[in-house]
Amino acid sequence: MSRRVKGSFRAACAALLVGGAAVPATAPVLAAPDTKALKVCADPHNLPFSNREEQGFENAIARLMAKQLGLPLKYDWFPQRRGFIRNTLKSELRDGVYKCDLVIGVSRKFEQAATTRPYYYSTYVLVFAAGRDLDKITSAEQLGQVDQATREKIRIGVFDTGPGQLWIFRQGLMDYAVPYVGQPGHEKDSLGDILDDILTDKLDAAVAWGPFAGYYAKKKSRPGQLKFLPLTSDPSDPGMRFHFGISMAVRYGEKEWKQRVNDLITENLDEIHTILDEYGVPRAQVE
């Protein structure tokens, strides 16, 4: 090898070594798509998850995330119903700048955005008052097997959203269902009314998403006053699925931001679970 070629080869190797060593040392760590704030998409009237007064557990988790990122926390408020992602996470204010950059709670199989690792699992539950006619059942499915005299007296509350209606139908209890609005989109605390109605004997039972039921039970009842039994999923029927992993969501294509959020979840999982415990959120086994 000539002296000139050897010199060029050594120079090329040195450049590769220097370049390779410099990348991890100088590559910027992504704080958030908007480096001025952590902008969270949230529902303004959806306790126990979030509200405009920031009293929900998703608000508490958002504060934790913002603290770890070293950024102020800002919200874009919109009711979490049809059009939520389109009007928040995907709503572009100007080129490359969006109304918000993170949704704190979605199903891990959510299709409208890219989801992170799940940070908790929960399940739909059957809720009823202790010490009454249903006190002896030990599984939710036994509600559909009670004797006819008991069945004729049952009043079971169910929200108009979610899989609870199908579960009641499969148990042969539709004639005894009392409908409740699941996403009112206003300030009235109507979601908690379903548990109030059990406590005041207007209902015998209700089917509800576990985090909601656990929060309102803790808020409205004495320990042991209400019982919870998880609904059993049917693996062969997607409509009879009641056990869900909950993740955070970012826009598709934002791989670095998604990885940053995943890292924050991993690094702060114990503190996130402490927040969930404070709000009475029942957690299920990992799927």
CA 161/CA 166 separation, integer angstroms? 10
Q: Residue 4 pLDDT > 90, yes or no?
A: no
Cβ neighbours for 10, distance < 8 A, ≥ 6 positions apart = none
> CB–CB of 59/41 below 8 Å?
no
DSSP class of 166: H
DSSP class of 160: S
Q: Give the pLDDT score at 270.
A: 98
- DSSP for 67-111 reads HHHT--EEEEE--SSTTHHHHTTT-EEETTEES-SEEEEEETT-S
- Please give the CATH number for the structural domain made up of 121-240: 3.40.190.10
CA 279/CA 218 separation, integer angstroms? 8
Q: Residue 34 pLDDT > 70, yes or no?
A: yes
Q: Residue 43 pLDDT > 50, yes or no?
A: yes
> CB–CB of 183/223 below 8 Å?
no
CB atoms within 10 A of CB 189: 13
> CB–CB of 13/21 below 8 Å?
no
Q: Give the pLDDT score at 3.
A: 46
Amino acid at 209: W
Q: Give the pLDDT score at 184.
A: 59
pLDDT digits (tens, 9 = 90+) for 94-126: 888 999 999 999 999 999 999 999 999 999 999
CATH topology classification for 38-119+246-278: D-Maltodextrin-Binding Protein; domain 2 (3.40.190)
Q: Residue 11 pLDDT > 90, yes or no?
A: no
Amino acid at 99: K
Averaged pLDDT, 115-140 = 94
B/e letters for 133-152, b = 16+ CB within 10 Å, e = fewer, are ebeebeebeebeebeeeeee
Q: Identify how many contiguous H helices and E strands the chain contains and give both numbers.
A: 9, 14
DSSP class of 28: P
